Structure 1
Amino acid sequence: MQSTISYLWHTDDLLGQGATASVYKARNKKSGEVVAVKVFNTASYMRPREVQGPGRQKVLVMEYCSSGSLLSVLESPEHAFGLPEDEFLVVLHCVVAGMNHLRENGIVHRDIKPGNIMRLVGEEGQSIYKLTDFGAARELDDDEKFVSVYGTEEYLHPDMYERAVLRKPQQKAFGVTVDLWSIGVTLYHAATGSLPFIPFGGPRRNKEIMYRITTEKPAGAIAGTQKRENGPLEWSYTLPITCQLSVGLQSQLVPILANILEVEQAKCWGFDQFFAETSDILQRVVVHVFSLSQAVLHHVYIHAHNTIAIFLEAVYEQTSVAPRHQEYLFEGHPCVLEPSLSAQHIAHTTASSPLTLFSMASETPKGLTFRDPALDIPKFVPKVDLQGDYNTAKGMLGAGYQSLRLARTLLDGQELMLRGLHWVVEVLQTTCRRTLEVTRMALLFLSSSLGTDRFSHVAGRPEIKELKEASELRSRLRTLAEVLSRCSQNITETQKSLSGLSSELLKNRDQVHEDRSIRQIQCCLDKMYLIYKQFKKSRIRPGLGYNEEQIHKLDKVNFSHLAKRLLQVFQEERVQNYQAALVMHGQRMRMVHETRNHLRLVGCSVAACNTEAQGAQESLSKILDWLSHQLLQDMTKGVQTSPPPTDPYPNPEPTDLVLHMQELCKEMKVLALDLQDNNHVIERLSRVPTAPDV
């Protein structure tokens, strides 16, 4: 046991250990409060006097964080390729808040790294990260400089690295922005699971190349590596494809990293700009958008006070679909986004319940782009090497977790493809029903009109030329009725085709829900993790007995078999299934595209027929009006015509003829009005979002 006046701890309760100190779990002697104490060793007294404290018996007492550090989170195999997006945003928020507090109090930390960012779990299960270990901190205003060097070399600003690690004499003074470089490296590490600057052999083994990478880095580059001994330096201006952050977040984050990982302090951002840009990210809300034509899920970051027009432009930046071509569905219903409204009117989305975007642009679905985890999986060496075997198992397990994440994403992508396409088919079927209803209404009215021939009794009177014109109009109306009849039949056939596709999509969705690949991969991972835990224990032992060594070798064989099986399930079942689904999705999208265009043409034909029929009915109504008027005049003047020939079926009396004409005229006017109403319905129908073009 060790103690101070107020605190007590046991050396077995070690929480962490570094080059200059050890951290233990301790208790307050009076209150029993659990804390963490940092006890410095002899090496710590080699540090600059300003960071040693007034006496050698002092310890640092800190808040106890039960969930380890950000470094311990990143070192777990599950996060071998970085944090999930939601967790990364929590880290960003906490680091920015902590640094803002330090700057408000004029303090430079000088040793920012994942190991000095502790994690604890809040009451609602959320992560909370806190900056700790202020052993190297000192008060420093924005315009002040310091000359002493302290920190962890992988996270050191290059000027400090040159002096502290390479031991090169130089007279440079350092300002508060050195913390920004360390933050940049830390954020890159959190986003990707690895350091941004890696020489061949690693940062600790090749220090000169490490310095070269950081000082020769071109403007805008955020990472540099050397992949072979004495090989060229390779630069990266984007985050790696294995990173779990969305393209939407990466587009906001990368410029920040590029401007704080700047070796020349004059070109590096100051804290004011850093806080402004990171706060801009943290104040945004994410809208999840699944592009049905691309089969890709996008995260669109916007401010709640932005207009929907800004959101549509942000979607354009990620999808290349112009705002005028963007049409949306949400939970199966058309979603009309008015550009002038606030973005707050956009529905609340999640990755599993996004806005579904379809466009008029024709393109082949590209789906999710990813790196095959098999390319990142190491292999065991034949001999027993406890530390090496642990490292290999950790790398293999990390690739396994990446396979599991990708498998889930691919399966979710299939579900979104099928569900979104099913919704579009439903909208098309609704369009069919409405168009068919309008078509049948028009046919009914025309059939009613053409089914009676109330002026046939005067058709044999050649001196009335208007009768010939009326006959021609009736003939045209018959032709229009035939066209509408064909349109009706065409729409009915389209409905059958869409119903078949809808049933097929529902069947495929059931198959996706029954997919077992995720469970199989998870089962392999669970077994691998148990072996990994044993390797983790064994690595700190000086050696193994004969029987233990044989068990260790067998575990290596089993571990390799499990990893092979996991990758086999991922590649042969999940990936191949997804690729086949992507091809089928492209074919179905082309069918939907053709169906939509076909329905548009049919709708235009129906509208044109209605318009023409309306005009013909109006003309016919006028003729009938004139005929009834003329007959009425003839009767009034008592005009006598030559006696009609004997007819076994005599025509009606003139008075009856006038009444028939007037009734027919009224019917024609009503029919014209009905056709006009039909056209209004068609116009509204054409404005209802239908299926996407591909």
Structure 2
Amino acid sequence: MSGDDFLPLRQSQNYLWDVTKVLGQGATSKVYKGRDKRNGEEVAVKVFSSAAMQRSPEVQVREFQVMMQLKQENVVQLLGIEEEDVNNHKVIVMELSQHGSLYTLLDDPENSLGLEEEEFVIVLKDLTAGIQYLRDKDIVHRDIKPGNILLFKDEEGRSVYKLTDFGAAKQLESEDEQFMSLYGTEEYLHPNIYGRAVIKDGNTGPFDATVDLWSLGVTIYHAATGQLPFKAYGGRRNRQKMYEITRTKESGVISGIQKYEDGPVEWRKDLPPTCLLSAGLKKFLVPVLASLLESNERKRTTFDRFFQEVANIISKKVLNAFCPVTWSNMKIYVDKDTKLSRLQEVIAEQCEVAAVNQILVVDGELLEHTVDPLAPVSDYPACITEGNPIFVFLKSYPDHRYFPNCVYPEFPRFGSSVHVSNDYQLTKLCCTVMAFHLRLVKQYHRKLQLLQKSVRGYVHELHHEIVHLVDCLKHQKQHNQVCSLWTKNYGHSAAQNIALVRGVDQGTGAKEREVLLEGNQKFIRDLEKQVDNIMKSAEDLLNQIKRDELQNRRLEKYWNDENMACHSDTFRCGEKIAMMLDSMKGIMAAFKEDRHRVVLGKLEENIHMVEKNRLQTLCSKSLSILESCNRFTEKQYNAYYTWYNQAVDTRNRCDKVNLKLGHLEKRQTEFVTKLDEFSKVMIGSMHEVVCEPNVTSHINQSSNNRRPTNLLNTLNNKLNAVEVDVIELKQSVDANFKILHSTEKQILENGI
């Protein structure tokens, strides 16, 4: 070995690297941070070990051959393949990630329970795109895991994930080509490969590219939860149990954890409650995981089906919704062509409020007035966001309180002595729990802010509803006045015409007509009285609502924003836990250094113990703040629950007014129809009188022809006048009906 082998800087023709700056290490290579000598840009240089150089030439060049084919945004870019100056060994030069790998991200205590939803979706999208690209080129990766997925940031700071490490990758001759070689990291291995490579179960069968699907499932589950899906107690010390778990699990099971030695395996077909993903995303993700983590070859999924399922998730429109009564902060994943009725059904699935019992409000307006109910959700306004969601209210009184129990991981137990090897892991776990506390406190704060906003939005929409009812009643009163005028004219004309009929016809027919006309008049008067009673009842109730809500602002005063404000604004709970978490991370860093020492000195051990005690104090304080926030939030929820019962009562009174106005319109329509019908009967009856032969004959035979003839002329003139009056009044009533319906339509369209 030459003296140059000990120099920290190594180089090839165009690149140099520092062997003290290790970015990663595998079984056959190390990756160092380096620079391009031509422009100074930082790069990653993969240098192979001496053992790797002893492999067959075919195996050595395979990674080079694979990488030279790859050029896609979700695959790490190859910059060059060169020879190291000292030993002429090949090195691979790639673009450098400044942000580590997905494993690095998940190893951060703040992500130890899984990624936030927005980041997770990016991982899912980018990882799938990278695998699909490899699939199109008939390349099987064979070592998919978080450590082989690098994190980059684009110019706008958005995450981009890229596949790396193609040391185990293989170019297949065909889609169905099988292979015998064993590669991969055991926690991510397909059970068949695990059995042969790790357990030595004697299976000698070949494998195909679908083994990558299992590794994908484990990796996606890891990203979603921060945990491996299948674990035996003792980890790699209990490999036989691990093999048994993956081989014997039922279809649909996506995790199996053995927590105690010789203990039972806890199986789950869903994601753990500590997972940060929304119920909306879980609904589509869990079936994907179940199909990937399928050990039964007859039931396993295919690449094409997996790509289609992920594309379906990524393509969905995501709408934010918040239901204060059920305390549900939702992300609604729906197809972009989904209409309002289907959206309500999906909301009902998540918050247990049936579609028929929902009132959807956004920006203080009913959603059905803000958007076209038949329009696709892709056309919905951009104002619907996490901070300004669709609020989901109940039409009826809530049947029970929905405030959930607070679910969070517990802090580990603290020993009274120093255990250098264990204390780092203990501190890391404490950081994970405290980071979860911080998320919960922030979540409480967000929900209380949404609670305040929901109250304002509900009251705003309710006031619009009251104004709408006031306008409707106003127009119905105007319409009623026109109808009353018609009634008076009808009564006056009927009385006159009855008298005229008596003058020309004293027979039985005249009496029958007189009874008919008088009966019609009575029916009209009774119907008019019903209309007046309904009108008065609706007006009295609406006036009371106007006084309570538009003048006295009863609901607004009942809910006092200042008294109901989140106490995090005053006590800064989130900020306090964030500061404690920073302090705890400092302790974790110190314990990490202590772990590398064989023995601590007396002074160092005392300092270590002091820090451990401080760690325990920080845990207690964090838990105390969380419990305080939980109690306060539950108190606020209970106050809202009581307030909302008052709000439902007010809306029910509005509904009663609306119902009365509906009855009123129905009676008015019936009134107009009958009045029109009776007017025609009256005119027809008078026509019969004028045209009857016996009446005409009687007039012609009279000795005094002048008076009957004048009477007949008068009757004809009156008849014509009545017809004109009926036509004019009917036109006036019809015009009022059109105005009334037009006004109601305009009010609804404008959301008034």
User: TM-score, normalising length from structure 2?
Assistant: 0.77
Report the alpha carbon displacement of residue 36 of structure 1 after superposing the two structures with TM.
1.6
SS in 1 for 2:470: helix
Is 1:209 the counterpart of 2:237? The answer is: no
State yes or no: 1:432 paired with 2:439. Answer: no
- Aligned positions of 1:199-238 closer than 5 A: 199-201=232-234, 203-238=235-270
Deviation at 1:385, TM superposition (A): 2.4
Tell me by how many angstroms 1:388 deviates: 2.4
Contact 1:450/1:474 (8 A) holds in 2: no
* 1:347 corresponds to 2:381: yes
Aligned runs of 1:656-667 on 2, under 5 Å? Answer: none
Q: 2:613 pairs with 557, 574, 589, which one?
A: 557
Q: Secondary structure at the match of 1:539?
A: helix
Moved more, 28-37 or 589-598: 589-598
Tell me, in whole angstroms, the C-alpha distance in 1 between the residues paired with 2:649 and 2:375: 34
Q: In 2, Cα distance between the equivalents of 1:138 and 1:231? A: 40
Deviation readout 1:444-500 (Å, 9 max, x if unpaired):
665688799898999899987656864674465345324312211101212344453
Distance change (3 Å), C-alpha of 1:366 and 1:346: farther
Please give the secondary structure, in 1, of the residue aligned with 2:560.
helix
Q: Is the deviation greater in 542-551 or in 121-130? A: 542-551
**1:94–1:130 contact (8 Å) kept in structure 2:** yes
- Shifted more, 89-98 versus 27-36: the winner is 27-36
**What amino acid sits opposite 1:33 in the alignment?**
E
Aligned to 1:489: 540
The answer on whether the counterparts of 1:8 and 1:27 sit within 8 Å (CA) in structure 2 is yes
CA shift, 1:313, in A, is 5.4
2:28 pairs with 1:34: no
Query: What amino acid maps onto 1:610 in structure 2?
Result: Q
Find out whether 1:610 has 2:668 as its counterpart: yes
2:222 maps to 189
* Cα contact 1:422–1:502 (8 A) shared by 2: no
Change (3 A) 1:80 1:496: farther
Note the alpha carbon deviations across 1:569-608, whole angstroms, 9 max, x for none. 2222245424425633653564355335423333233324
Distance 1:368 1:135, change over 3 A: farther
Q: CA deviation at 1:563?
A: 2.6
Does the Cα contact within 8 Å between 2:442 and 2:574 map onto a contact in 1? Answer: no
Query: How far is 1:377 from its partner?
Result: 2.3
1:453–1:299 distance in 2 versus 1, CA, 3 Å:
closer
Stretches of structure 2 that go unaligned for 5 or more consecutive residues are: 1-7, 63-86, 503-513, 700-704
Aligned to 1:527: 580
The equivalences for 1:112-127 within 5 A come to: 112-127=144-159
Partner of 1:8, secondary structure, is: strand
What CA distance in whole angstroms lies between the structure 1 residues aligned with 2:621 and 2:731? 75
Query: SS of the counterpart of 1:204?
Result: helix
1:629-682 deviations in Å (ceiling 9; x for gaps): 999x99x964699xxxxxxxxxxxx9xx99999999799657744764576369
| Deviation readout 1:113-141 (Å, 9 max, x if unpaired) | 11111111110000111111122222224
Q: Following TM superposition, by how much is the alpha carbon of 1:503 offset from its aligned partner in structure 2, in angstroms?
A: 1.3
Aligned residues: 676
Q: Write out per-residue CA displacement over residues 549-582 of structure 1, whole angstroms, 9 at most, x where no aligned residue.
A: 4343333333333332222222222454244256
> Which AA in structure 2 matches 1:137?
A
Q: CA deviation at 1:265?
A: 3.7
Task: Find the counterpart in structure 2 of residue 536 from structure 1.
Answer: 589
| Cα distance in 2, alignment partners of residues 610 and 28 from structure 1 | 87
Aligned position for 1:275: 307
Percent identity of equivalent pairs: 30
- Counterpart for residue 10 of structure 1: 18
Q: Residue 476 of structure 2 contacts residue 740 of structure 2 at CA under 8 Å; is this kept in 1?
A: no
Provide closer, same or farther for how the CA distance between residues 293 and 84 of structure 1 changes in structure 2, counting only shifts above 3 A: same
Q: What is the CA–CA distance in structure 2 between the aligned matches of 1:179 and 1:566, rounded to whole Å?
A: 42
1:240 is paired with a residue of what secondary structure?
Answer: coil
Give yes or no for contact 2:35–2:41 (8 Å, CA) kept in 1: yes
Distance 2:493 2:203 in 1: 117
Q: What is the alpha-carbon distance in structure 1 between the residues aligned to residue 290 and residue 57 of structure 2?
A: 34
1: CA distance between counterparts of 2:202 and 2:264?
A: 27
Radius of gyration: which is bigger?
2
Q: Is the 8 A contact 1:295 1:417 kept in 2?
A: no
- 1:112-151 equivalences under 5 Å are 112-141=144-173, 142-151=175-184
Aligned: 1:573 with 2:573: no
Report SS of the residue matched to 1:129.
strand
Which of 216, 219, 241 does residue 273 from structure 2 map onto?
A: 241
Preserved contact between residue 431 and residue 584 of structure 2 (Cα < 8 Å): no
1:478, 1:138 → 2: CA distance? Answer: 90
Q: Decide whether aligned partners of structure 1 residues 620 and 685 sit closer, same or farther in structure 2, where only a CA change above 3 A counts.
A: farther
Conserved in 2, the CA contact under 8 Å of 1:290 and 1:357? yes
What SS is found at the alignment partner of 2:587?
Answer: helix
Q: Deviations over 1:29-71 (max 9, x none)?
A: 4443311223445676798986556999444433210001111
- Residue type at the aligned position of 1:484: M
Q: CA deviation at 1:626?
A: 9.7
Mapped to 2, the partners of 1:637 and 1:476 lie a distance apart of 42
CA RMSD of aligned residues (A): 4.3
**Change in 2 beyond 3 A, CA 1:520/1:46:** farther
Question: Which sits farther off after the overlay, 599-608 or 359-368?
Answer: 359-368
Alpha-carbon separation, structure 1, partners of 2:58 and 2:649? 74
Q: 2:112 aligns with which of 75, 80, 86?
A: 80
Indicate if the aligned counterparts of 2:434 and 2:581 stay in contact, CA closer than 8 A: no
| The 10-residue stretch of structure 1 (130-139 or 344-353) with the greater mean CA deviation from structure 2 | 344-353
Question: Structure 1 residues 425 and 478, CA, compared in 2 at 3 Å: closer, same or farther?
Answer: same
Match of 1:477 in 2: 528
Aligned to 2:121: 89
8 Å CA contact 2:113, 2:275 repeated in 1: yes
Q: Tell me the distance in 1 between the aligned counterparts of 2:435 and 2:403.
A: 17
The alignment partner of 2:659 has SS state of helix
Q: Is the 8 A contact 2:568 2:574 kept in 1?
A: no
Judged with a 3 Å threshold, the aligned counterparts in structure 2 of structure 1 residues 69 and 577 are, in CA distance, closer, same or farther, namely: same
Query: Residues 610 and 396 (structure 1 numbering): CA distance in 2 closer, same or farther, change over 3 Å?
Result: farther
Could you tell me how far 1:425 is from its partner in structure 2?
3.6
Alpha-carbon distance in 2 for matches of 1:314, 1:360: 18
1:85-484 aligned at under 5 Å gives the runs: 85-141=117-173, 142-201=175-234, 203-291=235-323, 294-305=326-337, 311=343, 314-315=346-347, 317-318=349-350, 328-336=360-368, 341-348=375-382, 349-358=384-393, 364=399, 372-373=407-408, 375-443=409-477, 466=517, 470=521, 473-474=524-525, 477-478=528-529, 480-484=531-535
- The answer to which structure has the higher helix fraction is 2
Q: 2: distance between equivalents of 1:376 and 1:56?
A: 54
Matches of 2:241 and 2:742 in 1, distance apart? 73
Q: Which amino acid aligns with 2:624?
A: Q
- Listed one character per residue, the Cα deviations across residues 372-430 of structure 1 (whole Å, up to 9, x for unaligned) are 22x43223322122342222222222222222223333333344344345434433333
Counterpart CA distance in 2 for 1:407 and 1:570 is: 6
Change (3 A) 1:274 1:686: same
Normalising by structure 1, report the TM-score.
0.83
Contact 1:158 1:263 in 2 (8 A): yes
Aligned to 2:95: 63
Question: Of 640, 645, 659, which residue of structure 2 is paired with 1:601?
Answer: 659
Q: Distance in 1 between matches of 2:375 and 2:591?
A: 62
Change (3 A) 1:104 1:493: same
Q: Which moved more, 1:186-195 or 1:163-172?
A: 163-172
Tell me the secondary structure at the aligned position of residue 376 of structure 1: coil
Matched residue SS, 1:205: helix
Which residue of 1 is the match for residue 569 of structure 2? 516
